[in-house]
Structure 1
């Protein structure tokens, strides 16, 4: 028997073993849900081609969705601590399924606006609940690996879902809404049946976000996260515009280069998550943000598909480093009975970044590619420096 055959089981145990069964139910549900996430990547195309909305009306609809998403994470954080992790996650997924179908069958602008606002409100309700469940179920030493595996499942599912969604959209957009709805229901049922409720005594979970906002370390970490998220959000806001309108790549060339991001994450991230989990969280997070900032700064020099792929490889390396770290830091900072609220504030930073990214990136791109990408690189490096300064306070926790 070869050494490779002997080592394979121990290798798999080191990457996948040691995590409780309920975590794997959560992981499986996340993968199924992301495999079925087909609507959002094609929302703009659906609104303009299938529903005949103007670009201005489509922008209004997406803005309403953003407004709902801003409220979503704060509401979900409170619900996670008050009614429970499992109930919030399953309820959010069921609400997402109903809203997806309502949006798919809406034909008037008022109905589409109402459906998109509610969808923004419910589609990511699961995130604070999922983050709190991992913190409740998994030991501190294994949390970086657990959060990293969830990140891996999201990216794997999303990559497959986007590919299938593009094909199905050509047959009929309504298929995308039904598949998204069914995957949401499956996620809800799997979590309800296979994941125990882990919420601490409900009597401790009173009050709003005031107690979280009084935690200066968490507020500082949220601001750092906002900077990091603002840089990353350029990948789905201004990067496609810059590459197709300024560099003059075709959509096919841009898509081919962006596929490298998913491929690298799926292949590399599970291999390094255990090693990264043994590093100091704040220093690892700072390193990842700095590398991402460098990758985006280098985008200013892109003139070809190959050049874009090279910069994507750089910032994807940073993304892989940060993958399981942020959730681990939130779990360290949050008291057990407030993990939902802390995760909600963390999620709010990402929702805010998605709203701000085009508002900041658009004017900068009009000034020139260098203005946009050097600014984003600077924001990434500044966020990394802030993380290093905050590191001692996090380690004291």
Structure 2
């Protein structure tokens, strides 16, 4: 479909120009939503401090959230192809707003657990629809840049949301639920008003994921993505534990070092996204995975906050290289009428990694830092090798 584009003068055009207006509506909605992402980063604190749960009980409740997230991407992928990208995205955001308010109003263990499961089910339901929309709206040549800019918006908004959420939590957790719900509604309204339905007229929607699972190239790429996500998920699972408990860094120093990740992404991503988009996706992703693997492997030798900062700079550089590639490859592999399902399978790798990463990471950290970080680095190198092996088939597709 043909849509008008936003033109930018001078050097800004290489970073922001030439993309259709509906994409920028999707980008703006993503930014607004992430500006208000305040509940999930503080869920553990809310359950233990506000609701008085023991740590073990809070862990069980958060595992229930993970169980909802595990099936979320698969269901949302089917819905994006069957009922449409716009309806799935807007509906998922409205359902997320309702689940947020339900959780905030719940006081019994049973109600909190049920609300957490529903929240896990709907909070990321927008992702397959969003990825399919970008593939529908943006030309193949511009997709790496478009996906990279969405990644930038997520990081820009999340950095603000984390900072504001921490301050608001001290005033009362109810603020977090209402603001998060409001930004979800705003995202839904903006997409419904400014983004057209892009699902192709051809609709071969019978069945579930069988057709995707029969695509051996897509399944192999999903396994590569699983290696990537198992590596990256350590940043929010075992890395904080390893640095504060094993290395002995104060929590404040660890938080300050981790802020480098967001700062580098916000400053660098728009500047390099155009250049990265002109590179071969498979080779660029493999290179990014190698750089990330080196960064995580070096974490085994960290003894100070300066050393941690160096490793963060390294793996953040790799993260920027890979940021727009996964969506680009999935869009290249997927038939237009199945883009939601393909994106859902790709998202499923993230859900699986979020559950597996703390399990194997905790066991390996118990053996020693070298066991954890060399294994994590090895996963990254294996994923890079897999990506290079898939490169010729992806280029032919």
In the other structure, the counterpart of 1:133 is: 133
* TM-score (normalizing by structure 1): 0.97
Contact 2:225 2:346 in 1 (8 A): yes
Distance 1:228 1:43 in 2: 25
Secondary structure of the equivalent of 1:9? coil
Shift of residue 90 of structure 1?
A: 0.1
1:164 aligns with 2:195: no
Deviations 1:51-104 (A, max 9, x none): 011111011011000000000000000000000000000000000000000001
Distance 1:242 1:161 in 2: 25
Secondary structure of the equivalent of 1:196? coil
1:255 aligns with 2:255: yes
Aligned length: 390
Distance 2:163 2:149 in 1: 21
Distance 2:186 2:206 in 1: 31
1:118 aligns with 2:118: yes
Note the residue ranges of structure 1 that are not aligned, 5 or more in a row.
Answer: 1-7
In the other structure, the counterpart of 1:103 is: 103
Shift of residue 175 of structure 1?
A: 0.4
Contact 1:82 1:202 in 2 (8 A): no
- The aligned runs of 1:175-324 (5 Å cut-off) are 175-201=175-201, 203-324=203-324
Distance 2:282 2:203 in 1: 32
Distance 1:51 1:356 in 2: 27
Shift of residue 201 of structure 1?
A: 2.4
Contact 1:238 1:358 in 2 (8 A): yes
- The aligned runs of 1:348-363 (5 Å cut-off) are 348-363=348-363
Shift of residue 202 of structure 1?
A: 5.9
Distance 1:182 1:94 in 2: 9
Contact 1:81 1:202 in 2 (8 A): no
Contact 1:31 1:157 in 2 (8 A): yes
Contact 2:203 2:337 in 1 (8 A): no
Contact 2:299 2:311 in 1 (8 A): yes
In the other structure, the counterpart of 1:377 is: 377
Distance 2:363 2:306 in 1: 27
In the other structure, the counterpart of 1:143 is: 143
Distance 1:328 1:108 in 2: 44
Shift of residue 203 of structure 1?
A: 3.2
In the other structure, the counterpart of 1:4 is: none
Secondary structure of the equivalent of 1:53? coil
Secondary structure of the equivalent of 2:10? helix
In the other structure, the counterpart of 1:48 is: 48
Deviations 1:80-132 (A, max 9, x none): 00000000000000000000000011111111100000000000000000000
Shift of residue 9 of structure 1?
A: 2.9
Note the residue ranges of structure 2 that are not aligned, 5 or more in a row.
Answer: 1-7
Shift of residue 15 of structure 1?
A: 1.0
In the other structure, the counterpart of 1:3 is: none
Distance 2:255 2:112 in 1: 28
In the other structure, the counterpart of 1:5 is: none
Distance 2:240 2:104 in 1: 26
Distance 2:21 2:350 in 1: 29
Distance 2:137 2:204 in 1: 19
Where has structure 1 moved over 3 Å in runs of 4 or more?
A: none
Distance 1:350 1:114 in 2: 22
1:39 aligns with 2:39: yes
* TM-score (normalizing by structure 2): 0.97
Distance 1:237 1:108 in 2: 27
Shift of residue 250 of structure 1?
A: 1.1
Contact 2:31 2:157 in 1 (8 A): yes
In the other structure, the counterpart of 2:73 is: 73
Secondary structure of the equivalent of 1:203? coil
Shift of residue 212 of structure 1?
A: 0.1
Distance 1:96 1:250 in 2: 35
Shift of residue 396 of structure 1?
A: 0.6
Distance 2:385 2:262 in 1: 27
